[in-house]
Amino acid sequence: EKFHVSVEEVLDMVVSPLGLDIHFASRAEFIATVNQDLGSDRHGVLRGIRCSAPRTTIADNLVYRSARWVEMLDGTVRCRLMTDDLPTSLPKRRTAVVDAAIRAIHAVEWRPERQWMFPSSKDRMVRLAVVGRRLGLGDV
């Protein structure tokens, strides 16, 4: 039995503990909603924003003041909008690990010849799952 995991799936596993429950179709759509320049960042925390949630959410009458966000490899953006000025904090160690993993995934130029980094053998996938669990990234 063989398992396959894509780079997109790895990034999804890395960001899942952040609770990013609102999805934007593009970076431009996210920028238009939060009305802030993101520079060249691909993830981060925004403070001092004042926006409403996209109409696809239930609580679209709230005013949001902060956000934790990640740009996915396909160009979509996932975020968690919060009504207070300070985003919900995560344990510092977990945040540092997640931030480092996101930066590393975005830094690599993904090409077919580099797929050896994510092997398809069952034993290696089990090891990846164990490492993820120990880092607090949740179950795979």
Residue 76, exposed/middle/buried by CB under 10 A (0-12, 13-18, 19+)? middle
- Eight-class DSSP state of 127: H
Considering only residues 132 and 49, tell me which one the structure prediction assigns the higher pLDDT.
49
pLDDT tens per residue across span 68-104: 999 998 889 999 888 888 766 666 556 777 888 888 8
CA-based torsion, 52, 18, 31, 56: positive or negative = negative
pLDDT tens per residue across span 61-70: 788 899 999 9
pLDDT tens per residue across span 21-60: 889 999 999 999 999 999 989 998 899 898 887 765 555 6
Give pLDDT, residue 78. Answer: 93
